Amino acid sequence: MTKNIPKCSLSSGVVFLQAVSKEKKDFSRRLRKEPTPAERLLWEHVRNNAISDVKFRRQQVIDGYVVDFFCHNAKLVIEVDGKIHNTVKQKAKDIQRKNVFEARGLMEIRFRNEEVLENVLKVVKTLNQIVDSRIVG
């Protein structure tokens, strides 16, 4: 059963209507300072409004989960996954996360580290298409 979560209410890319603990804030800051190679590479391609002229944020806290990238305008969560996401236990957690995001009206898309590192331009093209389809003008 999914709890009744308000739809995505945002300003300046920060999700409102949620309490964020000091520990989560500190954890997300640490993740921003220590990105994986795949996260670092993807960030270089999405920062500064490079995708469809929209802003992305790194390591955004949403309902207690720290997401790799978040775009308010497209209501899009991007995850860059390592091998841990192949385990049965982690897959169950990932489904739970996705359900929480969907309850907020957010779409989640996942890319494997290898996808980003081996063909970042294909990932960027996919992101452009998704963002363009989700932006309501």
- For residue 84, being part of any structural domain is answered with yes
- For residue 117, being part of any structural domain is answered with yes
CA distance 74 to 126: 13
Could you tell me which residues are beta bridge partners of residue 70?
57, 77
Asked whether the beta carbons of 116 and 82 are under 8 A apart, the reply is: no
Where residue 120 sits, what CATH number does that domain have?
3.40.960.10
State the pLDDT confidence band at 55, using cuts at 50, 70 and 90.
very high
Could you tell me which residues are beta bridge partners of residue 130?
none
**pTM of the entire predicted model:** 0.80
- For residue 115, being part of any structural domain is answered with yes
- For residue 128, being part of any structural domain is answered with yes
- For residue 80, being part of any structural domain is answered with yes
pLDDT score of 33: 83
pLDDT score of 8: 44
pLDDT above 90: residue 42: yes
Q: Averaged over 21-39, what is the pLDDT?
A: 80
Domain extent, residue 22, equals 10-132
Number of domains in the chain: 1
Cβ neighbours of 22 (radius 10 Å)? 7
- For residue 5, being part of any structural domain is answered with no
- For residue 108, being part of any structural domain is answered with yes
- For residue 2, being part of any structural domain is answered with no
pLDDT above 50: residue 52: yes
